[in-house]
Structure 1
Amino acid sequence: MNADASGASLLLHLRVAKMSYIAIKSDLARFNEIQRLGHTVVHGDAAHRRILSAAGLAKARRSS
């Protein structure tokens, strides 16, 4: 399974489990595809603080 397939599988599992999530994708084509499928996604590189901020990392909480 490649990284894109495993990421898509993770998004599906999170959605089915009704868990909150925001995906971050740097590849514009994958960003558009994930957004088209109805997932919440931010375009950019997760190594940059402004992208993490745009994704709401400061408001994130750990689920148990």
Structure 2
Amino acid sequence: MGVVWEPVNLVSEAAQPENIDTVVVAGRVLKRHGRLTALEPEHIISESAAAARALRARTGWR
């Protein structure tokens, strides 16, 4: 199969988070000027770590 030059696919597959300036979903701005506006990464990481610890405790998985 030859090289496919589909612009939408090239952009979506090559883009990295730092390439995205603004994200709007259902009228809500989630990212502006490259910075998250609606999400707090530290809070998400903290909650996910607590959830993982709780899951390990419930299942006995170490």
Band the TM-score falls in, shorter-chain normalisation: under 0.3
Q: Which one has the bigger strand percentage?
A: 2
TM-score (norm. length: structure 1): 0.22
Whichever of the two has the greater Rg, that structure is: 2
Per chain length, whose mean CA-contact separation is higher, i.e. which structure has more relative contact order (CA < 8 Å, sep 6+)? 1
Normalised by the size of structure 2, how large is the TM-score? 0.23
